[in-house]
Amino acid sequence: MSRKIKSAISIVIIVSVFFSSWIFAAASQKKIQDIYEQQYHDPILMLLYYIDNIYYDKSNIDYEKILDSTLDGLISGLDDPFAWYFDKRQTNENRIEESKEYGGVGLTVRYDTAKKAIVVVSPMSGTPGEKAGILPNDYIITVDGSPVSQIGYTPSVDRMRGEPGTAVKLEVFRDGWEETKIIEVPRAKIETKSVQYDLIEYNNKKIAYIRLTNFAEKSYEEMQTALSYFISKSKDGLVLDLRSNPGGFLNVAIDIGSMFVRNGKIVSVRYYNGEEETVIPEPEKYVNFLKDIPIVVLVNKGSASASEILTGALKDNSIATIIGKQTYGKATVQRPIQLPNGGEVWLPIGHYFTPNGTDIHLKGIDPDIDIDNPAVELKSVNPSESETTEAMLSTTNKPYINLSADSQLLKAFEVITEKSGGK
């Protein structure tokens, strides 16, 4: 097939994508078709024609990238900070974050721009990467024979992932070695945890600590496991850590909210068509022991969306003391829309309000006790001890805690100590 024919087919695909991915009611579809034909069709087709015919560097045209940019431009034109377009790869990353599982070797990595290589932050506990002997600060030079310096960071990470049971060859270098070593590492199903928990002793008190990193598909079940762990244990209070939790599934936030809220409201949602919905807790999901102990919720500027739904529910229903910094302020309900090119649009379809009717959009939730952590200094590319430990524990239920460097968590423990009867 000639390049011209391929180009023509690509143009047809680009133009037709505006029609093929939506199913509208007849009247709405006619309206959109009219808008497209009157305003979009000619400029887009004309520009594509000239790109394909007179663009100087046309031999290097990437029509898939042009399509991604076109779709991203449509969404950017809404001028809404919470209307997002994700290309095919970003959509796949979203799936991994939502499901918390993927096929791979189990390494937390980042890119060393100076060395143009992948540096290992840490292998995850119990994964093939750990069993292969890969250590923090190791450098991955090639993946299946392809140099990271040539193919880039993202394609290299993609090549390390794959079907569980298959293997990938990694060329590794470690400080102190005279030359690199090539090892073959089997891929496995890697499952990271969105809920981590432990019973912490502080000033003769036993405090249940739960860290919720996001509201993923399995987060409710993981929260059930965490709370079940504490049922039979002596405890003086509970800290729910929602710091830097960007949100996730609305239904998961409601399910977890029902574990803490017995009566009242969890959230109210107002949709694009004017309809309103008030969500009340599901009584069968309530965890009884929570009514008998003081609860603290930790938040910061990175606590957003579903995190704010849960925080608002616990604050407005006087269930927990909120400690930390003002939250992000994302009260948008988004609907993911899958597109034929493998990309995805997240389109705002409504706003939510806290049980007291407060609109926190672009405002956030103010904590009951405002306290910040010490400023974190910029670090070199080499992973710190805390980063390494946290990455290693990401496949376990065990949270990483450094109380000496965490003023917010320390304050939470002090509040629980005071509420549960002093020292």
Please check whether residue 238 is in contact with residue 210, taking contact to mean a CB–CB distance below 8 angstroms.
Answer: yes
- Report the C-alpha gap between 106 and 191 in whole angstroms: 9
- Rounded CA-CA distance 13/33 in Å is 17
Q: Is 305 a catalytic residue?
A: yes
- Comparing CA positions, the residue from 9, 68, 70, 17 lying closest to residue 343 is 68
DSSP category for residue 133: T
Cβ contact 105:128 at 8 Å: yes
Tell me how many degrees the CA angle 108-109-110 measures, rounded to the nearest 5: 145
Phi-psi region of 379 (alpha: psi -120 to 50; beta: other; left: phi over 0): beta
Rg for the chain (alpha carbons), in Å? 25
Q: Where are the alpha helices (DSSP H) in 153-245?
A: 153-160, 219-231
Catalytic residue among 305, 307, 315, 394: 305
CA atoms within 13 A on the CB side of 235: 25
Helical axes 306-316 vs 250-260, angle rounded to 10°? 20
Residue 243 C-beta-side C-alpha neighbours within 13 Å: 20
Catalytic residue among 100, 122, 330, 394: 330
What tokens does 42 get? 């000619």
Helices first, then strands: H and E counts in the chain: 13, 19
Is 316 tagged catalytic? yes
For residue 302, which of 389, 361, 227, 244 has the smallest C-alpha distance? 244
Contact 395, 274 (CB under 8 A): no
Q: Has 99 been annotated as catalytic?
A: no
Stated as kind and residue range, the H or E segment containing 42 is: helix 41-54
Among 7, 194, 316, 394, the active-site one is: 316
- CA 241/CA 305 separation, integer angstroms: 15
**Is the dihedral angle over the CA atoms 394, 396, 397, 401 positive or is it negative?**
negative
Cα–Cα distance for residue pair 290/282, rounded to 1 Å:
15
Hey, how many other C-beta atoms are within 10 angstroms of the C-beta on 92?
16
Residues marked active site are found at 305, 316, 330
